[in-house]
Structure 1
């Protein structure tokens, strides 16, 4: 089977034989003699070339009757960034599938959300991924269940719920029909970490990945009491406040191409949504090769790409939270914005109660309802800025603006700039950090206007936009490289992570 999204056959062969991690998730290797499909990094002895077929997606391999390898574990492969990013119809449809839309809505609803016909959507998936939207959804659920069965001690009933199955019987039937073994049989074969309150999951990525730079960016903007970023990890408590859950993300030991996600007190039905949100937040599905190929012809960006080949877009945990931070941060420094936003969180966010309350986790970020009519001048906001915060909160409640995965960049900017107090810079910044949009470009940013020429001069927004056309559809990565280059060197930081109380 061939697909436009597959690398050419020779590249696939070379990547498979050399176990090249840069191609992990870009294709899967199915072996006819075993009936198994693998990642290109699989450590098992390489099969004969005549027994190998390449597929662009795990769901395509499963649709052809192959089952996932228990050794390389395809559920750990990062997503193909070429088809999960940006404004392409397939990219937006995949993002909606990742949000679980097909769990309770028909394919026609997915097609309507991305503004194409159902037949055309099927054709696009077949042409580009070699599978169907329903197939992607089904494989996504089963592979997540397989990961939970392999890596955790969650009861099988909870695993079924976490994977989106309302019936344990249905889950057992589908799992056994697809993988030719019962869920409990897989669990017996796979070693797991000792049982405890904290679940540990791998979040795979395609190297190179600059996790240190990611933490640097997030740490400079971390809100005291809401989130905690130290030298090795990012942590926060998530709602509701009365029964909060806790998460922490750190590097997986021994150089494995994965982040380590620790979860505590997260309901099974919310686990997959948490994982997908963190994959976006830490930009784990990006393809550095494709991005570098689009940007390295620019003489200003070329040395920056060589210096930081693994730089990713650091999104935020929640789009509304990023929006309020951005409004507060207009025309003031990052440090000042952090101070004022922390006051807002303390004044209007729900206090965390119970064992997860600690010195570093005291409040949840305020909800739109809490801010829509709040008196914000007491925390240091001007009347105009306070009015904009309330306007944004009310617009989110009304549905005039949102962070919908189906929205194109143009639609997103148009809707947000229709709000009083929100200009193109803020809207594009929200697209970059709220959506993780790879082509978001705040052309009015003063740092970018000075950093691109890098000779003491400053470009206009129009000049900057014209120059950046050659960077599309990855302008957001150019923004991060230029911002990072303009930042002062990081200071030594505490390497001891903060643990929640048990």
Structure 2
């Protein structure tokens, strides 16, 4: 294993990142130690092998412990995207500084990142399973998917299943194994089949075409699409206007109004959404620095 330090423009909001990583961690694949700022998990490489990685978060640096080999550059690129390490908090503050809503939030909590996923299919499947339920329930369903279809590792852990592995399971078996509704099982199965048969979920691909293909799948609406775009496809200007918590934090009545207001935050709208979530949860918790999408307020 080799330790490298990944450049990051400070500050990096450690507490907020750790919170969202914790609430979505899957037993057997992810382990988050908030006390030390350490995250350990398994990562699938381009050659389909699974390797362990560890990241240690600090406000001014990110240390990555990774296997030595020809995929070192791939791992570092994926980790940078996963943790939004190329974000520039100062540029966001300049863009939002005079905004009456977002400016004070960013001044109070600088460096909030758009924490995503290392695997885009994992992001998409997890988002589908989190529709219309709490974060905890979505995590339960996703853990069951990991147990049912995930790749077993020699260490005893598991890594998130590939799309073909999920697509191979009949819908009725998925529904029973995961404990979800028939409609949710069909959406997950359709998504997996589409990816298995050529739908490319690539942050470096044609995001407009990818959005169009995803939206054509049954059970995938604007909220799901925006979350996948933000957290999986690294679209830093995506914005979940259909999210009720976001709209409440903005003080607007509907999705159309939310999109109108959010237009002034472009091209940093994804980071703006994470700032709004952070603010909403901090208010609910009496000032704690928690950030995570509120799964009881999702709509599609």
**Fold similarity call, TM over 0.5:** yes
Q: What RMSD in Å do the two structures reach over aligned CA positions?
A: 2.1
Structure of higher CA gyration radius? 1
Confirm or deny that 1:400 pairs with 2:199.
yes
- The correspondence of residues 55-134 of structure 1 with structure 2, limited to 5 A, is none
- The correspondence of residues 60-459 of structure 1 with structure 2, limited to 5 A, is 198-231=1-34, 232-239=37-44, 244-251=50-57, 257-264=60-67, 268-353=69-154, 356-357=155-156, 362-374=157-169, 375-378=173-176, 379-408=178-207, 410-453=208-251, 458-459=252-253
Partner residue of 1:40?
none
Partner residue of 1:482?
276
Alpha-carbon separation, structure 1, partners of 2:264 and 2:289: 34
Offset of residue 239 of structure 1:
4.1
Change (3 A) 1:416 1:285: same
Count of residues in correspondence between the two structures: 279
Residues 153-206 of structure 1: CA deviation (Å, up to 9, x unaligned) = xxxxxxxxxxxxxxxxxxxxxxxxxxxxxxxxxxxxxxxxxxxxx210111101
Offset of residue 420 of structure 1:
1.2
Alpha-carbon separation, structure 2, partners of 1:483 and 1:325: 19
Alpha-carbon separation, structure 2, partners of 1:400 and 1:204: 33
Alpha-carbon separation, structure 2, partners of 1:307 and 1:464: 22
Name the SS of the counterpart of 1:376 in structure 2. Answer: helix
Alpha-carbon separation, structure 1, partners of 2:168 and 2:263: 41
Offset of residue 404 of structure 1:
4.1
Residues 453-500 of structure 1: CA deviation (Å, up to 9, x unaligned) = 1xxxx52000111111111111111100001111144599xxxxxxxx
State the TM-score, normalized to the length of structure 1: 0.53
Offset of residue 425 of structure 1:
1.0
5+ residue gaps, structure 1, are: 1-197, 493-502
Change (3 A) 1:437 1:243: closer
Offset of residue 341 of structure 1:
0.6
* Runs of 4+ that moved beyond 3 A: 488-492
Alpha-carbon separation, structure 2, partners of 1:367 and 1:421: 20
Offset of residue 307 of structure 1:
1.1
Offset of residue 414 of structure 1:
1.9
Residues 195-232 of structure 1: CA deviation (Å, up to 9, x unaligned) = xxx21011110112112211111111111111111211
Offset of residue 452 of structure 1:
0.7
Offset of residue 251 of structure 1:
2.9
Alpha-carbon separation, structure 1, partners of 2:52 and 2:280: 34
State the TM-score, normalized to the length of structure 2: 0.87
Alpha-carbon separation, structure 2, partners of 1:404 and 1:395: 17
Offset of residue 368 of structure 1:
0.7
Name the SS of the counterpart of 1:247 in structure 2. Answer: strand
Deviates more, 1:215-224 or 1:329-338: 215-224
Name the SS of the counterpart of 1:228 in structure 2. Answer: strand
Change (3 A) 1:239 1:281: closer
